[in-house]
Structure 1
Amino acid sequence: MHRQQISSIAHSGHPIAAPLSDDSVHALLDRALPHGEARLLDLGCGSGTWPARAQAMRPSLRADGVDIDAGAIAAARRAADEAGLGDRVAFHTQDAAEFTSPHLYDVVVSVGATHAFGGLLPTLKAAGRHLSPGGSVLVGDGFWEREPDRATLDAGFTADEYVDLATTVDHVMAEGWTPVYGHVSTLQEWDAYEWSWTGDLSRWALDHPEHPDTGQALEAAAAHRDAWLHGYRGTLGFVTLLLRRTPTP
């Protein structure tokens, strides 16, 4: 079972690939989206939830979503067609780091997809290339709520993979960005995300006992659950920042 297939099944009940509730997603988009004609780009869009929800909130919005997962893009296109958004939302099967467009965008989103660019700061650099003057970037990434202990590191992290929240914001500002809003995911949001991730993957395996990938799916769910509950729960945080470029003197 490929990593992308595991991720697709695991996110079937929680289409935002990050520990964010529906209310948090709505609040973040409401602050990020301008009224009137505007364009949004989602780099690492998965099944297209951010563009679809943004377009539902701002009907005059046009949006593009980019993801390397062809299956996720196909699902995004089907959902957009079923919702009648086919002429307002476009999806592209491509490496988000290599995407080019003739347009500049009023909002660039990359939440839970910074791995596609090699980290938070490279993601901001990539997003900035697509941003119109005065536009905003909505980016979400991890940080350390507390110093990672041995259990967290044994779960597959490295101590220098993240920094604390204050240092994360300092690094972002040093790269020429000003936070205009932010949301730190709550433990409740984290738990809902992780129970959904592991539960949906487990449910799929239990519902398909004859499938050749059932055993692998159960193992992946169990390994993820163990890493979360015995490792990074309460240590790994997640922050979503709404940023604008800092004017240069």
Structure 2
Amino acid sequence: MSAMAKPRRRSRSAEVPPARRKLRLGRLLWRGLLGVLAAVLLVTLLYRVINPPTTPYMFAEGRRTGGVTQDWVSLSDIAPVMVRSVVAAEDANFCLHWGLDVTAIRAALAAGGDRGASTISQQVVKNVFLWQGRNWTRKALEAVWTPLTEALWSKRRILELYLNVAEFGRGVFGVQAAARHYFGVDAADLSAVQAARLAMVLPDPKGRDAANPTTAQRRRSASILDGAATIQADGRATCFES
């Protein structure tokens, strides 16, 4: 007589009610989200005092071209007129907003998206932590990360990082490397005209030359020169010069 067949044991997963499985999954997702948020907070806090060794875009350009030039300098070693010129050119209300310029965003939407509305703070978050290109996922992360950066970093620190990681030419990153590349001087010794020309190339660093600007680019540089003087006179430079 054959032995009686033993009943099959149910798998442990089959014994877990669906509601409990959903609860476990929810807990795992919540823990994962908290882990990501903790990592974001930690790296943002670290870069408040530690200079990033590279950025995703700088690393990619180095791989693509065989190397890039960058020499880190503190904000105190950059000519003040250079700092004012960049603010005047890229984000004249830098001292007045908390990372997102709502007025500029509304103007960009009214113009049908043909004009940019990114603040210097947003550009720093994009350059230091994220990736390039027009992507809604990146834009959403940038919009969340920027106010956090503004809360944890000073305005001077934001500008310091921006001026050290911004692209000023093919393989040229940071204002110190740019000053030497275009004019053969240190960032601390830039003249007002040289500073305005460097700020002028930022929207199109691969297509503009600070040392040999076109007529239109000279006019743009002159406008930046006036803008730098204006924000100094009307107080819009106080948050990074005081």
TM range (shorter): under 0.3
Structure with bigger helix share is 2
TM-score of the pair, normalised by structure 2 = 0.26
